[in-house]
């Protein structure tokens, strides 16, 4: 199942109001725009939706109004969720033209009962989503697609440490087996788990991917850091250790360049996730941050190929001109900021502008700076 369209508003009618309308997505997407246009915010609202409908997060947010449309093998699934002050105001699920769930601000509503063949009345706690609290593979199996999409969604903020400042202490096998793939700081734990579960296949995949983006590694291991010392505690912290092909010694993650470790962490986590359970959607914010042009370009190409091979939906964001020039316009969604709203321009709602520009022979960044995409947009 893939996200097809999203409309979102928060703090409607208030000075803090912000919205996006009819943001459409393809299999591969690159959100481009200047700083503070709403790129990271958009990825975050998708992440929050996934965490809410999977039950991974409680409803702790003050305001939000979602309309999200998904495609499941040609079948359209539309989910509505509106909440305020940590309480559900509206929740509705429509599959095709059939209403499976319809709930109002008092928690009361109707839900389709599969075995009975018709809707029944119900009431849910105001602080809980019915798609989570009423999950039932017998009576309400239509919630499963939402749950799986949210559970398997992965979000990586490439501009952060991605676990470079996190070490691991392994006390016993039980603790080692506990792994949360949504926690992107668990690079050491994920690598150890992947190596144990998938052996050489996993390690070689990581090394080969690093080679493709210009980092040549003879060995990837886990062990005690050699650049810092820990005193006291209940165990010996472990970290990622690298043996680069042009160096004689071993480099621990604390001494690895930030850009290199971000790439390594992302590659470790993606390879494990792809081997363990195919993600539904991969979000990567600030893709290429901290990498030089050649390596950021190679990383994006690698991610696009992985998405194509695994049929995983990929949504990335950037404001880097070199990244923009390396990603075909067909994958672009240009974001502009207006008062209380971020508008989207892509080849689905501004097809003529995108096609006409490709005939000019100019580079992609010129399309972004020229404003040629603004000539016509149905959402304006």
State both tokens at 210.
Answer: 């690093």
CA 363 to CA 375: how far, in whole Å?
19
Could you report how far apart the first and last alpha carbons of the chain are, in Å? 29
Instruction: Please tell me whether residue 44 adopts helix, strand or coil conformation.
Output: helix
* Numbered ranges of CATH 3.40.50 in the chain: 1-153+279-380
pLDDT at 230: 79
Instruction: Please tell me whether residue 260 adopts helix, strand or coil conformation.
Output: helix
Q: CATH code for 1-153+279-380?
A: 3.40.50
Place of tokens 């009576």: 139
Instruction: Please tell me whether residue 154 adopts helix, strand or coil conformation.
Output: strand
159, 253, 282 from 164: Cα distances, Å = 12, 6, 20
pLDDT at 172: 66
pLDDT at 380: 42
- Is the CB of residue 216 less than 8 Å from the CB of residue 206? no
Instruction: Please tell me whether residue 276 adopts helix, strand or coil conformation.
Output: helix
Q: Per-residue confidence of the chain (380 residues) as pLDDT tens digits?
A: 999 999 999 999 999 999 999 999 999 999 999 999 999 999 999 999 999 999 999 999 999 999 999 999 999 999 999 999 999 999 999 999 999 999 999 999 999 999 999 999 999 999 999 999 999 999 999 999 999 999 999 999 999 999 999 999 887 655 555 688 999 999 999 999 999 999 999 999 999 999 999 999 999 999 999 888 877 666 789 999 999 999 989 999 999 999 999 999 999 999 999 998 888 999 999 998 989 989 999 999 999 999 999 889 999 999 888 888 888 999 999 999 999 999 999 999 999 999 888 888 888 888 888 888 886 544 44
Q: Which residues, 6+ apart, have CB-to-CB distance to 359 below 8 Å? A: none
CA 39 to CA 283: how far, in whole Å?
11
Phi/psi for 115 (5° steps) reads -70, -30
Instruction: Please tell me whether residue 380 adopts helix, strand or coil conformation.
Output: coil
* Model pTM score: 0.93
- Is the CB of residue 31 less than 8 Å from the CB of residue 317? yes
Closest CA to 344 of 304, 368, 379: 379
pLDDT at 177: 57
- The string over 133-171, giving b where at least 16 C-beta atoms fall within 10 Å of a residue's C-beta and e elsewhere, is ebbeeebbebbebbbebbbbbbbbbbebbbbbebbbeee
């Amino acid at each position: 199942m893939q996200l097809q369209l999203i409309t979102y508003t928060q703090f409607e009618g208030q000075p803090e109001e912000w919205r996006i309308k009819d943001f459409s997505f393809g299999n591969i997407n690159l959100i481009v725009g200047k700083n503070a246009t709403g790129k990271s915010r958009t990825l975050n609202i998708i992440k929050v939706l996934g965490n809410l409908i999977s039950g991974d997060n409680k409803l702790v947010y003050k305001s939000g109004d979602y309309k999200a449309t998904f495609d499941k093998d040609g079948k359209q699934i539309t989910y509505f969720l509106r909440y305020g002050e940590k309480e559900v105001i509206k929740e509705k699920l429509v599959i095709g033209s059939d209403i499976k769930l319809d709930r109002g601000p008092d928690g009361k509503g109707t839900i389709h009962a599969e075995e009975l063949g018709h809707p029944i009345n119900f009431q849910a706690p105001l602080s809980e989503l019915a798609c989570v609290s009423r999950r039932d593979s017998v009576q309400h199996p239509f919630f499963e697609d939402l749950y799986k999409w949210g559970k398997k969604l992965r979000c990586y903020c490439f501009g952060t440490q991605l676990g470079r400042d996190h070490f691991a202490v392994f006390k016993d096998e039980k603790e080692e087996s506990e792994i949360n793939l949504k926690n992107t700081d668990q690079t050491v734990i994920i690598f150890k788990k992947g190596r144990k579960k998938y052996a050489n296949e996993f390690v070689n995949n990581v090394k080969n991917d690093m080679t493709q983006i210009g980092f040549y590694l003879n060995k990837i291991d886990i062990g005690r850091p050699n650049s810092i010392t820990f005193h006291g505690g209940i165990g010996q912290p472990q970290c990622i250790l690298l043996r680069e092909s042009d160096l004689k010694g071993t480099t621990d993650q604390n001494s690895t360049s930030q850009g290199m470790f971000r790439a390594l962490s992302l590659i470790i986590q993606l390879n494990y996730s792809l081997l363990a359970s195919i993600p539904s959607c991969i979000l990567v914010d600030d893709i290429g941050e901290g990498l030089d042009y050649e390596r950021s370009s190679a990383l994006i190409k690698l991610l696009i190929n992985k998405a194509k091979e695994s049929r995983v939906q990929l949504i990335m964001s950037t404001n880097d001109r070199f990244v923009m020039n390396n990603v075909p316009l067909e994958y672009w969604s240009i974001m502009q900021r207006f008062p209380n709203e971020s508008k989207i321009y892509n080849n689905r709602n501004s097809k003529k502008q995108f096609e006409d520009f490709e005939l000019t022979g100019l580079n992609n960044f010129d399309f972004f700076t020229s404003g040629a995409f603004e000539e016509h947009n149905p959402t304006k």
